[in-house]
Amino acid sequence: MERRLNWGLIGGGEGSQIGAAHRIAAALDRKFRLVAGALDVDPERGREFAARCGIDAARAYGDWREMLERERVLAPDAGRLDLVTVATPNVTHYAIAKAFLEAGFDVLCEKPLTTTVEDGAALVAAAKARRRVLAVNYGYSGYPLIRQARAMALSGELGRIRVVVAEFAHGFHASAADAGNPRVRWRYDPRQMGASSVLADVGCHALHLACYAIGQEVRSVAADFASCVAGRELEDDAMLALRFSGGAVGRLWASAVAAGQMHGLTLRVFGERGGLRWAQEQPNQLYWAPSGEPTRILERGAEGLSPEAARASRIVVGHVEGMLGAFANVYADLAEALAARRENRRPAPPGPAYPTGAEGAHSVAVVHAAARSAAAGGRWVEV
């Protein structure tokens, strides 16, 4: 049996949605085994929960510093961690990821990678200096048909990309009555969120998908932020105009007050040779309209898709794969990247396409540029 990789988790304790998603996703393909963790800000609760997650008591830690001290000395044949996932509150990402990278660990960090642009750049530099993998969990990039869209854009099948339209607009913070609820309120508090709320929180997923799908970075941005619910200091609705490195034009809308919308993450890409559209709530279909021809419905798992998309599917066409499969693809990509490095070879084609730390740092930079633009009356700001 192929050796399962040793995996450590920081944060994501009991009741954390994202923690549960990571545990399922990492285990889905039997590539990772959860062997160490500091799962909770409360040491006792964290150790107790770690036990229920199957972590040996010896590697169930009260906090990440303790974990780092003890794990850094383990040799590979003593179960040294192959990957550490950071799923703690945003403001702590930088310190934890930096410490583990500098101790020689490979790291997958929840989004946003950091809360400042400088920290993002520093993490990328740290990973580079130590030749470590640094990934950021823009997990929607793991959807097979997002991989298909990316393959079509990068291969030139779409022609030069003209316009990318992305949305992440939900209605879960639309209730004024609920605005004071602590679970909601902190998201609109600049002391905890920095300069942006809904854009930093969910809009960044749409932003990353746009960049990821077309293989371009954002060069400049003009933004409009609005606070629709009384008392909010940060925006709960944002619109961005974008210019990309390859010449594409971008339109992005993020909202938390779009009453009735679920996690309304959608992506449309329009090139010289046709257009694509995809929606996270129906992720097993990609609509592809080659210029001048009828729109085609590309099905996940069908024949004729790109190797990148084919590799990312687990079950046959006509069934539904969902978010956990997408997240699992990020872990599968990381497993392959780690294996390739270990075996001193190139990753098996078509190679991993996990969202990189550099992409995470770029997203942070765009969000900050957008906040500056919005504060400056919508003028264009370079990233």
Where in 233-262 is the site for its own copies (CB under 8 A)?
Answer: 237, 239, 241, 249, 251, 253, 255, 257-262
Q: Which of residues 190-219 bind its own copies (CB under 8 A)?
A: none
Of 100, 137, 154, the closest CA to residue 330 belongs to: 137
**Footprint of its own copies on 83-112 (CB under 8 A):** none
Judged by beta carbon, residue 65 or residue 282, the one nearer its own copies is 282
Distance separating alpha carbons of residues 320 and 341, to the nearest angstrom: 33
If you search the block for the tokens 């970075």, which residue do you land on?
217
Of 94 and 288, CB closest to its own copies: 288
Task: Select 110 or 119, whichever has its Cβ closest to its own copies.
Answer: 110
Should residue 350 be labelled a site residue for its own copies when binding is judged by CB under 8 A? no
Closest to its own copies by CB, 219 vs 251, is 251
For the bound state, the minimum distance from the C-beta of residue 221 to its own copies, rounded and expressed in Å, comes to: 10
Q: Pick from 91, 95, 154, 163 the residue near its own copies by CB under 8 A.
A: 163
| Binding of residue 379 to its own copies (CB under 8 A) | yes
* Residue closer to its own copies, measured from CB, 108 or 257: 257
The piece of 99-107, 166-174, 336-344, 351-359 that touches its own copies (CB under 8 A) is 166-174
Residues 146, 311: contact at Cβ < 8 Å?
Answer: no
Residues 277-306 that bind its own copies (CB under 8 A): 277, 280-284, 287-289, 291-299, 302-304
Q: Count residues contacting its own copies (CB under 8 A)? A: 90
How many Cβ atoms sit within 10 Å of the Cβ of residue 376?
12
- The Cα 264–Cα 166 span in angstroms is 10
Residue with tokens 């619910």: 229
| Cross-strand bridge partners of residue 166 | 252, 267
For its own copies, the binding residue among 68, 87, 99, 165 (CB under 8 A) is 165
Based on the shown chain and the rule CB under 8 A, indicate whether residue 175 belongs to the binding site for its own copies.
yes
Helix, strand, or coil (residue 228): coil
Burial 133-167 (b: 16+ CB within 10 A, else e): bbbbbbbbbbbbbbbbbbbbbeeeebeebeebbbb
Q: Does 184 bind its own copies (CB under 8 A)?
A: no
**What are the phi and psi torsion angles at 289 (to 5°)?**
-115, 95
Query: Of the ranges 68-76, 122-130, 165-173, 335-343, which one interacts with its own copies (CB under 8 A)?
Result: 165-173
CB-nearer residue toward its own copies: 130 or 372:
372
Query: Following CA atoms 54, 60, 65, 69 in sequence, which dihedral angle do they give, to the nearest 10 degrees?
Result: -100
Where in 308-347 is the site for its own copies (CB under 8 A)? Answer: 314-325
Task: Give backbone dihedrals phi and psi of 280, rounded to 5 degrees, phi first.
Answer: -60, -25
We find the least distance from the C-beta atom of residue 257 to its own copies, in angstroms, to be: 5
As a whole number of angstroms, the distance between CA 7 and CA 180 comes to 38
CB of 352 to its own copies, least distance (A): 21
Q: CA 136, CA 36: separation in Å to the nearest integer? A: 20
Question: With respect to its own copies, which residue has the nearer C-beta, 105 or 331?
Answer: 331
- Show the beta-strand stretches assigned E in 139-217: 161-169
